[in-house]
């Protein structure tokens, strides 16, 4: 069996109906994984432990976490906006990890992949709340990744932007001529990264072939950032 095959791997995908969830589930299943999609509200503090318990044994946790990006000016960010964004995209991470960690340690193997954002790597106007939450994800992955690597548990993150997905790039935005001009101006690739392109890379990072990556942040953004 190829090292990039996911046959036999049990993969839990959070927010499976949002952001990259649908295409991730599709591509992972195509590559042989047993995909366990979850559609529950991940911001509820009790949800992570419950969904992990219901899923049974997990080889890979794919933390697909997203909210519609707030666009408040920095002086107008409300306490609720800040709290709700972190409650969905940051607070679930340690809860999810604590829930899957005992099983991964028992089997001596595990993968955690966070679907993050390149907004944590490049300043964007009117994105302070969103960028801060995505930056917290990034720092968490780097720290946890180096801590768990000796236990054969790899934790990494895809920092994406300008990837075709309905949460951030619905059809009305994609068809807008001003957005098309922005793509040509800001993204060296000149187009959105395909959803399947991104999902196939995620599948690789979930495979045994990617066992050397520890606390890594991988920009997938058509060159919008290059670090």
Task: Compute the half-sphere exposure of residue 164: CA atoms within 13 Å on the CB side of its CA.
Answer: 15
Report the first-to-last Cα separation within the chain, whole angstroms.
Answer: 33
What's the pLDDT at 79?
97
How do residues 22-50 score in pLDDT, each as one tens digit? Answer: 999 999 999 999 999 999 999 999 999 99
pTM: 0.95
- Read off the DSSP letter of residue 87: H
CA distances, 102 to each of 14, 53, 116, 153 (Å): 19, 11, 24, 11
- Report residue 187: phi and psi, to 5°: -110, 115
Tokens standing for residue 14 = 């959070």
Euclidean distance between CA atoms 2 and 136, whole angstroms: 34
What's the pLDDT at 226?
81
CB atoms within 10 A of CB 185: 8
Q: Where are the beta strands (DSSP E) in 93-198?
A: 110-117, 153-160
- Read off the DSSP letter of residue 186: H
Q: Where are the beta strands (DSSP E) in the chain?
A: 10-13, 34-37, 60-64, 110-117, 153-160, 217-220
What's the pLDDT at 1?
53
What's the pLDDT at 39?
97
Longest dimension (CA), the chain: 55
- Judge contact between 23 and 195, C-beta under 8 A: yes
CB atoms within 10 A of CB 93: 22
Length of the chain, please?
227
CA distances, 14 to each of 163, 189, 223 (Å): 18, 29, 27
Per-residue pLDDT of the chain (227 residues; tens, 9 = 90+): 567 789 999 999 999 999 999 999 999 999 999 999 999 999 999 999 999 999 999 999 999 999 988 889 999 999 999 999 999 999 999 999 999 999 999 999 999 999 999 999 998 899 899 999 999 999 999 999 999 999 999 999 999 999 999 888 999 999 999 999 999 999 999 999 999 999 999 999 999 999 999 999 999 999 999 87
- Read off the DSSP letter of residue 210: G
């Amino acid at each position: 069996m190829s090292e990039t095959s996911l046959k036999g791997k049990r993969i839990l995908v959070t927010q499976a109906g949002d952001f990259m969830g649908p295409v991730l589930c599709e591509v992972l299943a195509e590559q042989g994984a047993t995909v366990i999609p979850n559609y529950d509200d991940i911001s509820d503090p009790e949800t992570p432990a419950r969904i992990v318990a219901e899923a049974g044994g997990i080889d890979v946790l794919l933390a697909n976490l997203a909210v519609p990006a707030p666009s408040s000016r920095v002086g107008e960010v409300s306490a609720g906006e800040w709290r709700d964004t972190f409650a969905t995209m940051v607070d679930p991470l340690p809860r999810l990890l604590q829930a899957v960690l005992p099983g991964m340690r028992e089997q001596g193997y595990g993968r955690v992949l966070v679907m993050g954002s390149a907004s944590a790597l490049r300043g964007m106007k009117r994105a302070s709340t969103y960028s801060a939450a995505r930056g917290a994800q990034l720092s968490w992955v780097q720290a946890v990744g180096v801590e768990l690597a000796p236990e054969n548990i790899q934790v990494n993150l895809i920092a994406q932007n300008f990837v075709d997905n309905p949460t951030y790039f619905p059809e009305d935005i994609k068809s807008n001529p001003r957005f098309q001009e922005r793509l040509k101006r800001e993204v060296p690739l000149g187009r959105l990264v395909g959803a399947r392109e991104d999902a196939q890379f995620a599948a690789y990072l979930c495979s045994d072939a990617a066992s050397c990556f520890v606390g890594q942040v991988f920009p997938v953004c058509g060159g919008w950032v290059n670090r």
